[in-house]
Structure 1
Amino acid sequence: MNNFKADKNSSVPIHHQLYLYIKDLIESGEFSEGESLPSENEMIKLYEISRITIRRAISDLEHDGLVLRRRGSGTVVQHIKKQRTLSQFSSFSGDAKVKGDKPGSIILKIEKMEAGVKVGEKLNIASKSQIYFIKRLRLLNGKLIALHETYVRSDLGFSIKNSDFDTNTSLYEFLEEHGIKLGSADETIEAKMSSSEVKRDLFLEDNQPVIYKERVTFDQNGKPIEFSENTYIADSYKYYVHIVNVRGDSNETL
């Protein structure tokens, strides 16, 4: 925190210079989750800038979810949400590795069972057809982040057993290794309150919101291969989407 020097000749406001400096320290791990930033008085002495400038920078950091001001304990660094791009087809493990994170799983259940009506419709098979059910807690860098409940059709020419999966196994990589070429997926996403079972599995507090996602994954021929119901702890994950104006009309009134 001692390396910041305000550039008073810059076109960038000083409060934003400080914001960017502290943001970089948080994202690089210099400040870890739960750690307190120096007090306003300490920053005034360190950086020789005004209290108003410091408060503006801290306010912007809080607005972006990077810190939280707590009465009696100062400004505390918050957990940084992991971002996933909606327009890209990828697995949980693959997406994490691209971002430099370490994915992991805790296998809760793998079993063969009958498909219910909903699962049958999603996989385009008759209800009561045999499917594989895989229930996993998902981890990022050792931190619990989600519950994945996945249903895989059983007519793919191979079986799925407990011994096939460990902490580091990616379902999509497993499918690819068995000759399934994945091509696309349909997703729906919503914010909701979790069931008592999900609360138990994810160790959630009462009234703690979650991000719920359903995904149907298809092979390159458009055949539905797996249907998953994935629940993410809301304060640990966020989604990003890039939107293009397909009309190409830059003058359209918003």
Structure 2
Amino acid sequence: MKLQIDHKSSIPFHKQAEELLRKLINEPQYQDGQHLPKEVDLSEQLKISRNTLRQAINTLVTEGLLVRKKGVGTRVQKKKIFSGVGNWLSFSEEMRILGIEIQNFELQIYRNEVSAEVATFFGIDVSTKVMRLERLRGKKDNPFVYFISEFNPAIPISASENFNRPLYEILEADYGVVAYNSKEEISAAAADQFIASKLEIKVGQPILIRKRYVYDINNVPIEYNVGCYRADSFTYTIESKRNF
């Protein structure tokens, strides 16, 4: 693929470079996570500075399309379970892009009867028991989110899994279930006694509740997830574009 910047265009060079890179990483030879050409070679080919090129690359790194490693180079992120989901990323992927190392402080998984809302989502009876995963997660020194995940009973996930692995990697690799789409709800609330004790905050302090309805590639519901975040640790950004 020939890469060429239009130096007479009013479009900034870094935006042109970004669009060229988007097209490049969709080429067949890059689909399996291959490395991009060296920055010095790309910048010379495009006739732009390396700083301008890095600006374009950083945008794609932030979106999870590229992975940069010092001393190794920049490679295309292998397309797995997030290839068609727009801006949706798993929690583990979000934290990886931000460079935050996450650990589990608490983890338990057990069978539990579902609420009416979860039963409706999965299309099952409220008396049905499903696997329920609860995890307290955060940075090395402090937890900042408590997750509750409930899974479609058709997925035979069990407590024997190594949940230090990313959840959607487990679903895809071990059960052939590919998480594809997520519908989200964000709301604010005051921490009750249980959540306050988990997040190490005072009862009544604000928390953000992020509810996710996750579907597979066939639009079959696979996971109902609720995350309770410390309000001082979570920002949700929405980008909108005006249509003319």
Aligned partners of 2:86, 2:193: CA distance in 1, in Å? 32
Taking a change above 3 Å as real, the CA distance of residues 176 and 235 of structure 1, as seen in their structure-2 partners, is same
**Greater CA deviation, 198-207 or 89-98?**
198-207
Partner residue in 2 for 1:26: none
Helix, strand or coil for the counterpart of 1:165?
A: coil
Match of 2:197 among 197, 200, 204: 200
User: Which amino acid in the other structure matches residue 90 of structure 1?
Assistant: L
Partner residue in 2 for 1:133: 132
Partner residue in 2 for 1:107: 106
**Greater CA deviation, 147-156 or 199-208?**
199-208
Match of 1:239 among 226, 236, 239: 236
Q: Give unmatched runs, 5+ long, in structure 1.
A: 1-85, 249-254
Contact 1:106 1:137 in 2 (8 A): yes
TM (norm. structure 1) is 0.59
The alignment-based identity, stated in percent, is: 23
Where in structure 2 are the equivalents of 1:105-254 lying within 5 Å? Answer: 105-156=104-155, 158-161=156-159, 163-166=160-163, 168-177=164-173, 178-246=175-243, 248=244
Aligned partners of 2:139, 2:236: CA distance in 1, in Å? 16
Higher CA-based Rg: 1
Contact 1:130 1:153 in 2 (8 A): no
Aligned partners of 1:175, 1:107: CA distance in 2, in Å? 20
Q: Give unmatched runs, 5+ long, in structure 2.
A: 1-84
Contact 2:190 2:203 in 1 (8 A): no
Aligned partners of 1:142, 1:94: CA distance in 2, in Å? 20
- Residue-pair matches, total: 159
Q: RMSD of aligned C-alpha atoms? A: 1.8
TM (norm. structure 2) is 0.61
Contact 2:136 2:146 in 1 (8 A): yes
Helix, strand or coil for the counterpart of 2:236?
A: strand
Higher relative contact order (CA 8 A, sep 6+): 1
> 1:124 Cα deviation (Å)?
2.4
User: Which amino acid in the other structure matches residue 171 of structure 1?
Assistant: L
**CA offsets per residue over residues 27-56 of structure 1, 9 Å max, x none?**
xxxxxxxxxxxxxxxxxxxxxxxxxxxxxx
Aligned partners of 2:212, 2:204: CA distance in 1, in Å? 25
